[in-house]
C-alpha cells in the first residue's frame, strides 16, 4: 500500500512516541544504572572468587545490556528515519520510506509486547499444561499439534522449552 511521505512521517512520529513511552514505563534509565553497578562488580579484582555468583552476575549483565541496547537502537533508528523523512521533499522516495516504516513498525510492535510482559513474575519460567480431555483420538492429535506449535513459537523467540511429561 502506497502512502504519502507526510503520512509515513506521521506514522514514524507515532511509533517514536510509543517507544519513548515504553522506555519510560520499563524504566530503562534505572536499568542502565543497574547495568553500570553490575559492570563495576565485574571489574572488581575479587569478582571471580565465587564462580557461581560471578557467572550469574555476568549472565544478568549480558541480558540487561542486550535488553537496553535493543530499546536504544530502536529509538535511534526511529529518530533518524523520522528526521530524514521530514527533510525529504521528493515523493518518489516514499516507496523506500514505506519499506523502512514497515520494518520499524513490525519491530516496534514486537518490542511493545515487552511492555505488557513487564510484571514482577514475567521473567520467570512458565509451566504450560495441554490436556486432550475426553475427546478421543482427534483431541489427542489436536493437543499434540498445539504442543508442537507452542514449542516452535518458543524456539523462534529464543525461549528454552523443556517437556516435563507427555502421556
Find the length of the chain: 167
What is the secondary structure of 33-89 as a DSSP string?
A: HHHHHHHHHHHSTTGGGSHHHHHHHHHHHHHHHHHHHHHHHHHHHHHHHHHHHHH--
Q: What is the pLDDT of residues 5-57, one digit of tens each?
A: 889 899 999 999 999 998 998 889 999 999 999 999 999 988 889 889 999 99
Q: How far apart are CA 47 and CA 79, in angstroms?
A: 39
Q: What pLDDT shows up at residue 150?
A: 93
CA dihedral over 74, 75, 76, 82, signed as positive or negative: positive
Q: What is the pLDDT of residues 56-114, one digit of tens each?
A: 999 999 999 999 999 999 999 999 999 998 887 776 777 888 889 999 999 999 888 87
C-alpha pair distances (Å), 134 with each of 43, 137, 138, 139, 142 = 58, 9, 10, 8, 12
What burial class does residue 9 get, using C-beta atoms within 10 Å of its C-beta: 0-12 exposed, 13-18 middle, 19+ buried?
A: buried
Q: What pLDDT shows up at residue 66?
A: 92
Does residue 121 sit in helix, strand or coil? Answer: coil
Q: What pLDDT shows up at residue 1?
A: 41
In 3D space, the residue among 28, 4, 10, 1 whose CA is nearest the CA of residue 78 turns out to be 10
pTM summary value? 0.69
23 Cβ contact list (under 8 Å, min separation 6): 71, 75
Could you say which DSSP state residue 119 is in?
S
What burial class does residue 142 get, using C-beta atoms within 10 Å of its C-beta: 0-12 exposed, 13-18 middle, 19+ buried?
A: middle
Amino acid at each position: 500500500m502506497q502512502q504519502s511521505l507526510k503520512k509515513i512521517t506521521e506514522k514514524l512520529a507515532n511509533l517514536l512516541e510509543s517507544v519513548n513511552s515504553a522506555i519510560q514505563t520499563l524504566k530503562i534509565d534505572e536499568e542502565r544504572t543497574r547495568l553500570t553497578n553490575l559492570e563495576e562488580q565485574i571489574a572488581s579484582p575479587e569478582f571471580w572468587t565465587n564462580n557461581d555468583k560471578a557467572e550469574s552476575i555476568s549472565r544478568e549483565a549480558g541480558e540487561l545490556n542486550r535488553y537496553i541496547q535493543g530499546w536504544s537502537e530502536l529509538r535511534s533508528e526511529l529518530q533518524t528515519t523520522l528526521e530524514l523523512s521530514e527533510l525529504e521533499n521528493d515523493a518518489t522516495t516514499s516507496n523506500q520510506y514505506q519499506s523502512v516504516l514497515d520494518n520499524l513498525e513490525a519491530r516496534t510492535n514486537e518490542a511493545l509486547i515487552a511492555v505488557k510482559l513487564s510484571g514482577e513474575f514475567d521473567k520467570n519460567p512458565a509451566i504450560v499444561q495441554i490436556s486432550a480431555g475426553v475427546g478421543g483420538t482427534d483431541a489427542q492429535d489436536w493437543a499434540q499439534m498445539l504442543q508442537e506449535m507452542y514449542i516452535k513459537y518458543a524456539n523462534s523467540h529464543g525461549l528454552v522449552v523443556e517437556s516435563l511429561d507427555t502421556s
